[in-house]
A and B are shown apart, each in its own frame.
Chain A
Amino acid sequence: MAFCRQSSISFRCSHVLLFPQIPHQVAAHMTETLRRLDVLDLAARASIAHPEAIFTATGGTRVSDEKLRNLRDMLLEQATTHGYPGLASEEQRGQFDTLASVGLHTRMQIAPSEAAKRGIWEFMTCVLAPDIVRWRFPGEGGGTSSERFLTGRRNTFQRLWWRAHVMRDDLRQDNCYALIALLGEDEIVQIMERPNLAGYRRLTAHVGAGLLSAVERHREMPRRILIREVQKHLLRLSSIVMFDALEEEQLHCLTQELYDQVVAAVSGNTGSST
């Protein structure tokens, strides 16, 4: 009888923190007001607690007040370095996103299953740091879009935590979060807005690294086209190829092949089908 080897990158929960969550109906009600207030008014309202906050019942330790204050202080410092409370440039906002992604992922110490609790992110945006939401996404005359406060792919902090989680490359000894800084916002969105593919973390690391390599080799090719088309190829392959079972070298070869195919197709050379 043969036994298989266990191979899984999995979250081990010896020090899981539980964060406060607010009910969605409370967040939706609060957002109607918060989204139009001035940044500094919101800073005065920021708090580490809310009377309707709840916690996941079991499985970890409730985050301390001190840790919540430290988290807010970290975000505030990162924002201040990039223009807060004034209007920030696109470059400044992008740099804030990179720092905040890594900061949230390393400091919050939450399990993916806890991060999937939407009330946590609505607590972060509506209670802990509403001013930073308003600053990061000022919006047009009508205020910040509600989706930046409410849970979803565009929640200000939820999107940052998940991109750090998905794009963290555990095989990189020097900086496992390097990809977040090296990829542009559009490219990260291309990755994150395909949850069927984003769940394959090792594949995502290779897609990101592969893009950077392809851009070096094909400087004339727009990055957004490269990654968009490769993602389409991968989506088609995902129903017949098990990406998680591929070894690192196989993932590398697959992504390289797909980037080369895209370049050939876009350049008008003979392309091969997936």
Chain B
Amino acid sequence: MVVTAVPYLRPGAGLVQAEQWQVLGDEPQALPALLPHWDYNTEVQVGRNVVVDIAAIRHACQFVDDVPLKLVAAWSSPGSFQRGVLCSLCPLPQHEQVVLRGSLNGGDVVSSVRIDTLLLLGASNIDPAPLSPMRAGSVLWRDSATVVVEGTGSRFPIEVIDFDSTAWAPRGAAWFLLWNPFDVDQPFLGAVRLFINASHEQVVRAATTASTESSTVAIRSAIYFDVGRALLRGGLANPDFVADPDGFPRGTTGHAIATLLRTTFPGESVLELRNLLKERPEYFDGVLQAKFNLFQM
């Protein structure tokens, strides 16, 4: 988990009270975790009520009275690389409920959208007290809500097809992981797919059922190892990934690989792992066997 150490004072918990996001309309309802039937023409109006204890926040951050505060609702979609502001309010009224309201548009969003509500320093703090925030836009408080707009998002994408009926799948193979290691910015669920050869009945069974027969478990272990190895090797061979493994938004292939790396090799340097793979690839594969508990049933 990445933790950001903020170099300035921030207000404590409870000084910003924000209600749950609502989908607005004739009958407002709580913003769900999944919005189905999403396409480019979709436009969803969302809103929430927020109360800000301005006096307490000014005291906590050591602001003088004329330093403005700004409340902003912003959206971002890792699938489309787009982001923007739903709405903003500055200056904030004292002890008054604020309504944040805006539209999420289908043309901007792919796969999921994150809505951040942020309390910000509205302008540069010209004569700040020590440790008082000074840059315009400095984040004092935030919360986030994420909505999936396509698919259910939780399972590894698997598809069973007859490899002999295609020109691109390796004939006779038991499975084939299709993905593009050069393009780790793409949403994981759209960009990575495990194809299982329909003519391999045992492999189909292992990949699509929860059977606990020893042969099925062994096949599943082999698939898990092979997929994990492919993703890790691909990521470590991609200079863009190695240069900034934590720079990929949630939901992208890069983020999934970074997460897999952290859980497989906790605390280890990506550069050192890249070097190990480069210099001793056979040893790296052996290490992965142990890490993924290959055939340990």
Contact = CB atoms under 8 A, between A and B. Distances in A.
A197 B99 CA distance: 29
A146 B70 CA distance: 47
Interface size class of A (residues with CB under 8 A): 35 or more
Contact of B107 (A13, A152, A245, A246): A13
A217 to B, nearest CB: 22
Contact of A1 (B96, B106, B123, B166): B96
A10 B191 contact: no
Nearest to A200: B83
A250 B39 CA distance: 35
Interface stretch (B16-24, B135-143, B259-267): B135-143
Contacts of B180: 24, 28, 118, 150-152
A5 B183 contact: no
B88 A7 contact: yes
Contacts of A146: 182
Interface in B63-97: 70-77, 79-89, 92-93, 96-97
Contacts of A235: 247
A111 interface: yes
Contacts of A28: 168, 178, 180
Contact of A199 (B41, B81, B97): B81
Given A199-B76, A245-B74, A114 B185 contact: no
A114 B84 contact: no
Interface size class of B (residues with CB under 8 A): 35 or more
Contact of A250 (B86, B98, B123): B123
A195 B247 contact: yes
Contacts of A113: 40, 77, 79-80, 82, 106-110
A59 B40 contact: yes
Nearest to B2: A239
Given A240-B6, A245-B72, A13 B101 contact: no
A237 B120 CA distance: 14
A244 B93 CA distance: 22
B169 interface: yes
Interface-centre pick from A9, A29, A240 (highest chain B CB count, 10 A): A240
A27 B68 CA distance: 53
Interface string A228-258: 0000000101011111111000100110000
Contact of B98 (A2, A58, A196): A2
Given A25-B169, A118-B191, A6 B103 contact: yes
Contacts of B4: 239-240
Contacts of B123: 250
Nearest to B72: A245
B102 interface: yes
Interface in B16-56: 39-42
A13 B168 CA distance: 35
B249 A196 contact: yes
Contacts of A16: 40-41, 107
A266 interface: no
A28 B179 CA distance: 10
Contacts of A151: 180, 182-183, 186
A29 B97 CA distance: 58
A150 B40 contact: no
B39 A195 contact: no
A246 B249 CA distance: 22
Contact of B182 (A4, A152, A200): A152
A112 B107 contact: yes
16 contacts: A2-B99, A6-B86, A10-B84, A13-B41, A56-B39, A59-B41, A112-B82, A116-B110, A153-B182, A153-B185, A195-B81, A195-B249, A199-B81, A244-B72, A250-B123, A254-B137
The 4 closest A-B pairs by CB, nearest first: A59-B40, A59-B39, A111-B107, A152-B183
Given A1-B98, A24-B179, A112-B81, 20 more contacts: A2-B93, A2-B99, A3-B89, A4-B87, A4-B99, A5-B88, A10-B84, A29-B168, A58-B41, A59-B106, A115-B80, A116-B79, A152-B182, A195-B185, A199-B81, A242-B72, A242-B139, A245-B85, A246-B136, A246-B137
Interface of B: 4, 6-8, 39-42, 70-77, 79-89, 92-93, 96-103, 105-110, 118, 120, 123-124, 135-139, 166-169, 178-180, 182-183, 185-187, 190-191, 240, 244, 247-249
